[in-house]
Amino acid sequence: MRRRVKRGEDGISLIEMVVAVLVLSIGIVAGYQSLGQSRLAIGGALPRVLAQEAALNRAEELRLIGMAAGRSLPEIVRQGPYDWRITVDEAPTQGGFVEARVRAGAPDLPGAVFVVYVPPGAPQ
């Protein structure tokens, strides 16, 4: 006995197959592009993290030794594969401390800024 197949139930047409392949290929291309953008964003995070570490290290040094001794610390520090220029902007506070804005930067790389309050002289 043969089954009779009704018209319209013959299977997938060529046009439906082309549309399905086109939709899938657009999704795959979009996925690859987002993967590439994520790789670039993650790869750019290393210099930013190293700049933050360099600035944080200087801020902690200032807290430990005081502002007077901190002025003699080197201006260029090496953190990872980069040389970071450390600048410190000072502003007195009403409480007798010094507000120090510690900036770490290098040419063509992202930098970082930390604010720390340090005693003006040697810590007690």
Residues near 102 by beta carbon (within 8 Å), at least 6 away in sequence: 55, 56, 58, 59, 62, 86, 87, 88, 113, 114, 115, 116
26 occurs within a structural domain: no
Q: Which of 116, 117, 104 is nearest to 49 (CA)?
A: 104
Mean pLDDT of the chain: 85
What amino acid occupies position 118? Answer: V
88 occurs within a structural domain: yes
Query: Model's pTM, two decimal places?
Result: 0.63
Mean predicted confidence (pLDDT) in 94-115: 90
86 occurs within a structural domain: yes
% of the chain beyond a pLDDT of 70 = 85
5 occurs within a structural domain: no
d(CA 42, CA 56): 21
Confidence of residue 14 (pLDDT cuts 50, 70, 90): confident
Report DSSP state, residue 95: T
Q: Which domain holds residue 111?
A: 45-118
pLDDT by residue (tens digit) across 41-94? 676 688 888 999 999 999 999 888 888 888 899 999 998 889 999 999 999 888
